[in-house]
Amino acid sequence: MKNIEIITKIRELSGISDLPKDEQALVKNAMEAAKRSYSPYSGFRVGASLLLENGQVINGSNQENAAYPSGLCAERVAIFYANAQYPGVKIKSMAIVAMGETGLTSEPVYPCGSCRQVMIESESRLNNKIRLILTGKKKIHLVEGARQLLPMGFDFNSLEA
């Protein structure tokens, strides 16, 4: 018998000014993107901004639908658009914010399981790590790679196993 321990490393910062300038700009982009969310059913506006290796910034927001499951999270809107527009270009970092009725959430909001799955597909196929910048009013969390949030994940290597 063997015990396997998995450790997730997260860096916590106290505010946006603790980030380098380019990442501060990415967080601001995500906040603007959140304002363009179409979320009449949940009232929860999420913004995701990607910085690609080619310098392009891609913004996404959650897009809901009267048939609830037909909507899509901000993160996947951004990643799928990036893949469609710039196939094969790595995602360097991704800023995620969420706004409720009173504005930016006080705690950082973490991506849902389906978005984590899509992120690790991108990391696996392009062999890189996506730096996640999760921003709330009180603190910012930095995660070096989506795999930190989905250890033991399923990807194309699993299909070959």
Catalytic center residues? 75
CB 139 within 8 A of CB 13: yes
Pick between residue 18 and residue 57 the one whose CB is nearest to ligand THU.
57
Q: Minimum CB separation from ligand THU for residue 97, in Å?
A: 10
Pick between residue 48 and residue 51 the one whose CB is nearest to ligand THU.
48
CB 43 within 8 A of CB 101: yes
Residue 22-61 contact track with ligand THU, rule CB under 6 A, x = bound = -----------------x--x-x-x---------------
Helices (H) and strands (E) in the chain, counts: 4, 7
- Angle CA(80)–CA(109)–CA(158) in degrees, nearest 5? 50
- Contacts to ligand THU from residues 99-138, by CB under 6 A: 111-112, 115
- Angle CA(72)–CA(153)–CA(67) in degrees, nearest 5? 20
Q: Alpha carbon 11 to chain centroid distance? A: 16
Interface pick for ligand THU out of 26, 29, 64, 82 (rule CB under 6 A): 64
- Distance between CA atoms of residues 24 and 2, nearest Å: 43
Interface pick for ligand THU out of 19, 26, 30, 74 (rule CB under 6 A): 74
Pick between residue 18 and residue 72 the one whose CB is nearest to ligand THU.
72
